[in-house]
Amino acid sequence: MHDERRRIEERVERVHNQRIKPAIYSATVPFEVEAWHAPGEPVSFEEAAAARYTPFAMDTPWGPPWGTTWFRMRGRVPAEWAGRRVEAVIDLGFVGDWPGNQAEALVHLPDGRPLKAVNPLNQYVPIGNPVSGGEEIDYLVEAASNPDILANDFAAPTPLGDVLTAGDKPLYTFQRADIAVLDEEVWHLDLDLQVLRELMVHLGEHEPRRHEIMHALDRAMDVLDLDDISGSATAVREALAPVLARPAHASAHTISGVGHAHIDSAWLWPIRETKRKTSRTFSNVTSLADEYDDFVFACSQAQQYEWVRDNYPHVWARIQESVKKGQWAPVGGMWVEADGNLPGGEAIARQLIHGKRFFIEHFGVETKGVWLPDSFGYTAAYPQLAKLAGNDWFLTQKISWNQTNKFPHHTFWWEGIDGTRIFTHFPPVDTYNARFSGEEMDRAVRNYSEKGGGSRSLAPFGWGDGGGGPTREIMERARRLADLEGSPKVVVEHPDEFFAKAREEYPDAPVWVGELYLELHRATYTSQARTKQGNRRSEHRLREAELWATTAALHAPGYSYPYEKLDRLWKTVLLHQFHDILPGSSIAWVHREAEAEYARVAEELEALTAEAVAALGADGTRVFNTSPFDRAEVVRTPEGAPAYVEVPASGSAPLAGAEPAQPVKVEGLVLDNGLVRVEVAPDGTLASVRDLRAGREVLADKGNLLRLHTDLPNYWDAWDIDKHYKNRYTDLLDADAVTVVEEDALLGAIRVTRSFGKGSQLTQTITLRAGGPRIDFETEIDWHEAEKILKAGFPVDIRAPHSSAEIQFGHIQRPTHTNTSWEAARFEVSGHRWVHIAEPGYGVAVINDSTYGHDVSRTVREDGGTTTRVSLSLVRAPRVPDPEADQGKHRFTYSLLPGATIEDAVAEGYALNLPLRVADAAGAPEPVVSVAGDGVTVEAVKLADDQSGDVVVRLYESRGGRASGVLRTGFPLAGARVTDLLERPLEDADVTGDGGVAVALRPFQVLTLRLRRAEGS
């Protein structure tokens, strides 16, 4: 047989694209269109409906960046169209090849009910199937002219990322607004051809099935009448029916498809626009559910549901109905799809608590899995927290973006730091916006790592980020691929069903232990430092407010615990942990608003804490310690003078009274408190740190060396830091001034000022206080660099085989060597409040109050000793998508802690992030809870969310070993139960004979206790 592949494939392509597709709509009449350009921010439907509209013609530019234009569209269905399927077709002037992040619109009926959205790949609005003919159509269409921030592949900075800089030039040119007849037979023929053509080209040239499809298509084209596409479409479809009816192989891979519309809660648009994106997409989804009984849609992020509930009640009602019908599946059980590394442990717990509760309360559905397809790596604390929230499975996708190593599994058991395992899937289709294309189906099968063990995978399908979600075309593809030779089988089903089947067929799936580290987007640990600092401070302020509000509720008559305020503030913080806000990868508008929100949260939480402390009375100045560790340290009095205090964990003490063992001596540029001796060099670096207790020098070279690196990644500026950043840098060794600024028996401080780069200024106050070995570097930067990263390095004279970095409810160890490509790829890693390195018998910690990114490396010196360098990433200067990212002033503190154990690092990490509070109060109420037992650490103290008055305490083992102890209460205890994260009882706790609660924890175990107060307490 002659090889006619080229002729046939080119013939089919041309006829399909140039004849069949244009015939899908067989007749059209235009709408009469009027427009009203809303001034400023979006307005309500009622305001838009009352506005004055003016005539608007097609091919007219419209829409300034971030503007809203309302279009009134009126028309009549021609009488002769009776019995036909008729739709409105609207093209706002869509641009680019991405269906999100550009113009989109929501179509309303005259009474204000949202009907359906219009998106680049979803331009129709159903009118009738069939119509009677003569129907009057009247729509009000809210169109958003969101700019295409992704234009030119992020090649250059753009001012479009903030309404303050975007300008007012129209972005789009309106193309079409028609009432049209959908020729259903031609439309189905178009889909038949799409599926067969794509299947054909992705089958191997040696496959008989490829040639069978090719010749069937060639014969079908002979049947098609090019002068009467509509009239011959049925005959063409009949010619193709046999090749579409061939069943899949018995061993064919099965793809469980579930509708999806990944909508970033903010990214290249502000939060206010996400509120509208959700309403548009959810309108589309509920409309599609009416058309397809077999459609199932999975949707996460309780926050987005709440926005729709509060702003679009008609859409909310349709969602509730779809959930009842089983076509809408709430998934994920989190408030938002949060970043997978940066939120604190308690914050991740609250993400799960608030998310799961929302779905239980509003839909009667308890979600069973964590749905995080797009976060930038995942902490090894997740398996335990997910299980404690009642989840059975975990889904992610993003690890497919790895820059160096291909992740070896798609279905596996993920084991966390405490030993908890959760069944996990990583879809081999490598997208959460699938459309069941031939390329995707081929990739899913080729890519699937579990062949021979498992036979199924998941494929979330639909256009995200404002693209409108799943479409009828995708559903039609799924139906054709349900059982088709040469393709995997496709079944549309709930994710819970997929995970149950996958686990049943592959119970002994391989195990992955530890973090799911993404070998990309490593700069998200550092970008937009003020956003990250706002999160860190908010998490700790929330802890503080809850502790002292609980204390006041127990001990201050008349005080009312602020349930609603704390709930609202937690949700604000949880929203801003979304995986494009907290990582610093959003446009300027998002981060400008985030900083303002964090400031408001700080003000409210400060007021709540002050109110709680004041409720305890005013009879003298006391010091309040929110940390779970006893503290003996220097604070400042209200007058600004230093004072040394000893304060119990989670308790308070008088301001005066204690004395440190030795005073601080300041001699020249040397600080000495009898524990450590710090020598500052004339260039402002640390020339020496001598641990006087251990009799050893801590540093192997200049300490606190500030190094300015060139930082231009290959592509994703705000997201990525590529390994070549290390090759070009400048050490900041020119100090403007190095001076002693405080010399007191309780503390000594030396200030270093520097000017560098493009006008940047940096001031560091190096402080050593009496009674402890911690050396603080209080830092102020006025930052004006571009495409740079500033790091602070500590070369420590320690041979450390690994570093330990705090993560949520524990810490993770990472090798300091680069034996394998997996280790070499971790050249920038995340951590929370501290990083610890050690050799047998001696360790050092580097602690911070707002920094997450760091690197740890080691070299062997000529003298045979080993230098282990810990470098903190302080601030970056990416220009895309926010051209002014990180510009301006920053204030933060990091510290060096010589001679530190892991427990020391944990305690000082809490201390630096939870400064002692000095305030007037009466008496000394007992701490709400206290724990006797090393390694048992209190993370949260609060009243139960059901407002029963029970006290909820969250504990964890913090050292990485087994721990036991006794928890005692500052109130009469009537009973105690172990609960899940949602405060639902699991079992009775072990109450001792003297009223304590015995606690026994495995390494890094998280334990939630619900404590019932005795009557009258």
Q: Show the tokens assigned to 462.
A: 């639909």
Number of H helices, E strands in the chain: 18, 56
Determine contact, residues 630/649, Cβ cutoff 8 Å.
Answer: yes
On the question of a cis peptide bond just before residue 130, with omega within 30 degrees of 0, the verdict is yes
Q: What is the dihedral of CA 742, 744, 747, 751, to 10 degrees?
A: 10
What are the angstrom distances between the C-alpha of 222 and each of 15, 260, 559, 777?
11, 39, 84, 79
Q: What is the dihedral of CA 440, 443, 449, 454, to 10 degrees?
A: 50
Choosing from 374, 720, 722, 776, the catalytic residue is 374
> CA-CA distances (angstroms) from residue 914 to 536, 608, 649, 658, 778?
10, 16, 12, 20, 15
Q: How many residues does the chain have?
A: 1017
1004 with 962: CB under 8 angstroms?
no
**Residue 598 and residue 279 in contact, taking contact as beta carbons nearer than 8 Å:** no
Residues 6+ apart with CB under 8 A from 498: 256, 258, 425, 456, 458
- Catalytic-residue membership of 374: yes
Which residues neighbour 581 within 8 Å (Cβ) at sequence distance 6 or greater? 265, 266, 531, 575, 590, 591, 594
Q: How many angstroms separate the most distant Cα atoms in the chain?
A: 102
Q: In 3D, which of 68, 187, 86, 170 has the Cα closest to residue 128?
A: 86
Handedness of CA 347, 352, 355, 357 (dihedral sign): negative
Q: How far apart are CA 563 and CA 545, in angstroms?
A: 11
User: Within 415-528, where are the H helices?
Assistant: 438-447, 472-480, 495-505
Which residue has 């299947």 as its token pair? 199
> Two tokens at 868?
């282990």
Distance of alpha carbon 180 from alpha carbon 264, whole angstroms: 33
**Eight-class DSSP state of 53:** P
Is the previous residue joined to 881 through a cis bond, with omega within 30 degrees of 0?
yes
20 Cβ contact partners less than 8 Å away, ≥ 6 residues apart: 186, 189, 190, 193, 224, 229, 233
CA–chain centroid gap for 216, Å, is: 48
Q: Give, as one character, the DSSP assignment of residue 288.
A: H
CB atoms under 10 Å from CB of 607, counted, come to 13
Cβ–Cβ under 8 Å, residues 3 and 45 = no
Amino acid at 170: P
DSSP letter (8 states) at residue 276 = H
Sheet holding 665-667, edge to edge: 665-667, 670-672, 676-680, 686-691, 696-697
Tokens of 616: 């305890």
Are β-strands 393-396 and 369-372 bridged in parallel, bridged antiparallel, or unpaired?
Answer: parallel
Contact (Cβ atoms closer than 8 angstroms) between residue 360 and residue 366: yes
Is the separation of the CB atoms in 199 and 437 below 8 Å?
no
Of 98, 104, 28, 25, give the one whose Cα is nearest residue 71: 104
Q: Is residue 424 within 8 Å of 454, Cβ to Cβ?
A: no
Q: Give catalytic residues, as residue numbers.
A: 374
